[in-house]
Chains A and B, each alone.
Chain A
């Protein structure tokens, strides 16, 4: 009986929901190709603002910021994924241990606290231990808030893998390390890749926490963009936004596809 599932108007609201979500992004993407110095009038199609991003007066600033963003995202995603794998093993394979639910709450804490509170707390922490704000403080902060995002897909995947695989390996005289590296990790891989990609994107995108702990003179792409936007939206900002948009969409699509393949090979 289809009747109880169908409500009139719900399709319309869903479409409206997607329009609201996508309209600003599509409009900015279109206007990033605008061959006009003014952001208001349309002057024909052009790549000039993309050229401006790479060779224009602000190119050096953006290049430095992009380099910081990408290296921090790479290091933070790697470290937080490794920690998330260890945490998932402890939580799901470790049996019952004291403080398990407290640990679980702790892993998810960054998801529940407003970002600005985390930002304040992190800045105060670095200031107290006397760590000068800069690249290192951004990196530490990023690793911390990326952990829950890496943890969720890894834990989901791990709880779907039965322990019999490792037990079989152990019965065949594999060491614990071999059982992990040769058996469990390959099975866990879709979750690990998915978690890694999400952590990478979350790190690349962060503004609020980075803005607090970056220190003077240090910029990542979002803080550089924010600094520019404060003086008004310029066409080169739209070009750079579109590029970042493309990177985000690419990563999420990859993560989605990996997950799908993972579900097909579900054990």
Chain B
């Protein structure tokens, strides 16, 4: 089932990216590199000028990668201590803490994103609360900024970071930390030099699980961001909507996105294989 309805479609998508676009959406079965050409080069309005590098789409990708990387780091900084804290509770309490972390993950992402927008909008509860406290005098303009998108990505995918790290820390043998402590290693040195190398697979898995969906995120940038925070997800979405769409170009963007993801997965697999050999 997955073979038919996922693998074949992905291959078809790659084929489509080499076809010619038809106006009103759809394609003509004529092979061309036009979609990729449009992605990388600008040949002027009529296509007859010498090609110069087209920065529009590359910069959208660059912004997406940057945003996804930032979200990953933010999730790691919050997710690791959380996972550690839960894994060091008595076993009977752990499942309750974990349950609390997983509930938001199962709540509709659209509803969560809308809720976040409601909370942080200009006249929203967060701004009223902060103004009530006297921390700020004017509402913080959060919506339509990169910060709002960043917050949305962080909020969307935080549970993905906590769960794999938790699984790794739960299996961690604390005797290793105790041995290091007996040899007078400071607390944070133990965490960095002893714990981290052991739980690294969980950390890497968590980072991938945040980075990959953040890179292709659609809802957070679309609802919380504006024109200046445009990310890959919206770019792809736009190519398949209405008569302005360009299916081969959308497919080409999706292929580039998937290539990036596969590179990330490949690097992780190689690191894991290297880790296993050591």
A residues lining the B interface (CB < 8 Å): 1, 3-7, 9-11, 13-14, 16-18, 20-25, 27-28, 31, 39-40, 83, 106-107, 109-110, 112-118, 120-125, 127-128, 140-141, 143-144, 147, 198, 201, 204-205, 207-208, 211-212, 222, 225-226, 229, 233, 237-238, 241, 244-245, 248-249, 251-252, 256, 260
Contacts and interface: CB of A to CB of B under 8 A. Distances in A.
Interface in B111-168: 111-112, 114-119, 121, 123, 125, 154-155, 158-159, 162
A22 B159 CA distance: 12
Contacts of A14: 81-82, 85-86, 97
B8 A147 contact: no
A121 B12 contact: yes
B101 interface: yes
Contacts of B78: 13, 16-17, 20
Interface-centre pick from A114, A147, A245 (highest chain B CB count, 10 A): A114
B215 to A, nearest CB: 6
Interface string B199-215: 00000000000001101
Interface-centre pick from A16, A106, A117, A208 (highest chain B CB count, 10 A): A117
A124 B16 contact: yes
Contact of B108 (A4, A83, A205, A256): A205
Contacts of A115: 213, 216, 218
Contacts of A256: 99
A25 B115 contact: yes
Contacts of A9: 81
Contacts of A120: 13, 236, 240, 250-251, 254
A107 B192 CA distance: 35
B257 A117 contact: yes
B3 interface: yes
A226 B112 CA distance: 12
Given A25-B107, A27-B125, A225-B110, A233 B26 contact: no
A139 B253 CA distance: 26
A46 B114 CA distance: 21
B106 to A, nearest CB: 4
B197 interface: no
Given A31-B118, A207-B109, A3 B181 contact: yes
Interface residues on B, range: 35 or more
A211 to B, nearest CB: 8
Nearest to B233: A116
Interface string B172-210: 001001101100000100110000000000000000000
Going nearest first, the 3 A-B pairs with the smallest beta carbon separation are: A114-B216, A125-B9, A121-B9
Contacts of B102: 252
Interface string B1-34: 1110111111011001000000000100000000
A22 B79 CA distance: 15
Contacts of A225: 110-111, 114
A125 B118 contact: no
Contacts of A121: 6, 9-10, 12-13, 254
A172 B16 CA distance: 57
A17 B162 contact: yes
Interface string B86-108: 10100000010101111110111
B107 A17 contact: no
A109 B26 CA distance: 26
B5 A116 contact: no
B177 A245 contact: no
A116 B82 CA distance: 29
A10 B84 contact: yes
